Amino acid sequence: MRYDFLSPKWRQDPYPLYAWLRENEPAHWNETWGGWLLTRYADVSGALRDPRLSLGGGVAALFGRMPAERLQRFAFLRRHLDLWMGSLDTENHLRIRRVFQDGFRPHFLAELRTEVAAISDRLIADLKYRPQIDVVNDFAYPLSAITMATFIGAPYEDWQKFRGWADVLNRFLGYGFFTDEVLEHTQDTVIEMSDYFERLLHDIAATGSTRGLLAHVRAGALTTEEIIASCVVLLFGGYETTATAIGSCVHALKSRTEAWPRIGDAQDDLNAAVEETMRFEAPIQMVRRCAVVDIEYGERDIKAGDVVWLVLGSANRDPAVFEDPDAFSLRRGANRHLAFGFGSHLCVGTALSRMEAAAAISALSRALPSLSLASETVEWHRNPTSRSLVALPAIVADHAVSPAA
């Protein structure tokens, strides 16, 4: 068995490899990734809440082998990544998380859901006049970028910037090794984003705006640097994960169920579809940790300082937890998937992502009940740490003729 996570074959369908690893090498050392891959649900869920595995250590491991001159060259990027919520261990993670938590309260999300529905309707108003659309690039990504701009409190017209920045971060975070060109491009992008959010914070304070998440962040609770770093990670996480989930959900519903025409008006099925998509095609396939002390997982000795990759996409297909795990089912019931993490590091944007994906699928299904996939085959991005469609061409069988035609 070859363990090539970068080959087109495995990126198109990594699940046979995951199954083999779960059965034969649940803790597998991979030279390409310079670390251990954990693939069983019990190990991954345990590792997600194991204090012996550090989030911050993962960033340290990323830069740890750099010579001093190169490390200095990318010092800004290193400092920025150190401040991400996903890089911070428990105490600092919870401190920053508490400041941003209010933006994810039910009343705040209920107001945002109305805006997401309106954004969806505006995008669909144009798409329904086309005989064929790309669900991913014409709908899911623009919707997610516009929603994140609205959520954070940025001007609506800046959504194109958000999309471009998130694409750069996705390419950077998707691999465990980097060329200087990739690091330079990422650092330049992070500097540009930091300048943007610093200006946005100033504008919000100067105008007294009450729109969006940043208007509700308590002054003095965090440093400006911490707020900016959190904005960057929220933008990337909220944009990429949700857009990916929308595309994957439409694909699964159309290719594996007969539920599409009615899903928009069946709330229970809609919620089940979103959860099952998160399990079936986890948007984030693997996350990095670093061992603080010597530990054992999967009957392997993992040394302090070793990088450990938690393969969420494999854990979510583990037959020890999920019956018929390779089937997409709206009747799965209790769905204990790990797509959003686990425990104290459960993704802070979980409720937002669920709400946005459900609102988007509902709007698209109700407006385009006869939508059909243009092809039985699809192409997935080769990014090994995430699972996202390159495109999803679909036929609008009953498309209308534009009044302007």
Q: What is the CATH number of the domain that holds 136?
A: 1.10.630.10
Phi, psi of 311 (to 5 degrees): -90, 90
pLDDT at residue number 5: 67
224 located within any domain: yes
Query: Which residues does 6 contact at the CB level (< 8 Å), separation at least 6?
Result: 32, 382, 384
Q: Indicate the pairing of strand 35-38 with strand 307-311.
A: parallel
Which residues span the domain enclosing 337?
Answer: 8-396
pTM value > 0.85? yes
Phi-psi group of 130: left, alpha or beta (phi > 0 → left; psi -120 to 50 → alpha; rest → beta) = beta
Question: What is the tally of structural domains in the chain?
Answer: 1
237 located within any domain: yes
pLDDT at residue number 405: 47
Q: What CA–CA distance (Å, rounded) separates 156 from 103? A: 18
Phi, psi of 308 (to 5 degrees): -125, 125
Three-state DSSP class for 319?
coil
Q: How far is CA 349 from CA 95, 106, 231, 256, 387, in A?
A: 16, 12, 12, 28, 18
Residue pair 299/347 in contact (Cβ under 8 Å)? The answer is no
- Give me the helices (H) in 320-403, please: 350-367
Phi, psi of 215 (to 5 degrees): -70, -15
Measure the CA dihedral 395/398/404/405, to 10°: 80
Checking 9-13 for CB contacts under 8 A at 24+ apart, the result is 11/380, 11/381, 11/382, 11/383, 11/384, 12/379, 12/380
pLDDT at residue number 86: 62
2 located within any domain: no
pLDDT at residue number 62: 65
Q: What CA–CA distance (Å, rounded) separates 301 from 346? A: 27
What letter would DSSP give residue 83? Answer: T
401 located within any domain: no
Residue pair 55/94 in contact (Cβ under 8 Å)? The answer is no
Q: What CA–CA distance (Å, rounded) separates 262 from 356? A: 18
Q: What CA–CA distance (Å, rounded) separates 314 from 337? A: 10
195 located within any domain: yes
- Give me the helices (H) in 157-287, please: 159-173, 180-207, 224-256, 260-263, 267-280
22 located within any domain: yes
Q: Strands (DSSP E) along 281-331, which ranges?
A: 286-291, 295-297, 300-302, 307-311
pLDDT at residue number 4: 67
pLDDT at residue number 169: 84
Phi, psi of 220 (to 5 degrees): 85, -15
pLDDT at residue number 61: 61
Q: What CA–CA distance (Å, rounded) separates 331 from 84? A: 36
Let me know if 218 is exposed, middle or buried by CB neighbors in 10 A (0-12, 13-18, 19+).
exposed
Residue with tokens 């690893």: 21
Residue pair 236/171 in contact (Cβ under 8 Å)? The answer is no
pLDDT at residue number 175: 61
Q: What CA–CA distance (Å, rounded) separates 360 from 292? A: 41
What pLDDT tens digit does each residue of the chain (405 aa) get? Answer: 556 666 778 888 999 999 999 999 999 998 878 899 999 999 999 999 898 998 765 566 667 667 778 778 888 888 888 777 666 666 666 777 777 776 677 777 888 899 999 999 999 998 988 999 999 999 999 999 999 888 888 988 888 898 888 888 887 876 655 678 888 998 999 999 999 999 999 998 888 887 888 887 766 678 888 888 888 888 877 888 899 999 999 999 999 999 999 999 999 999 999 999 999 999 999 988 889 999 999 999 999 989 999 999 999 999 999 999 999 999 998 899 999 887 666 677 788 899 999 999 999 999 999 999 999 999 998 888 889 999 999 999 755 554 454
Structure tokens at 356: 């946005």
378 located within any domain: yes
Radius of gyration of the chain (CA): 21
Residue with tokens 């082998």: 65
Per the DSSP assignment, residues forming a β-bridge with 194 are: none
42 located within any domain: yes
Q: In what order do the strands lie in the sheet with 132-134?
A: 132-134, 393-396, 371-373
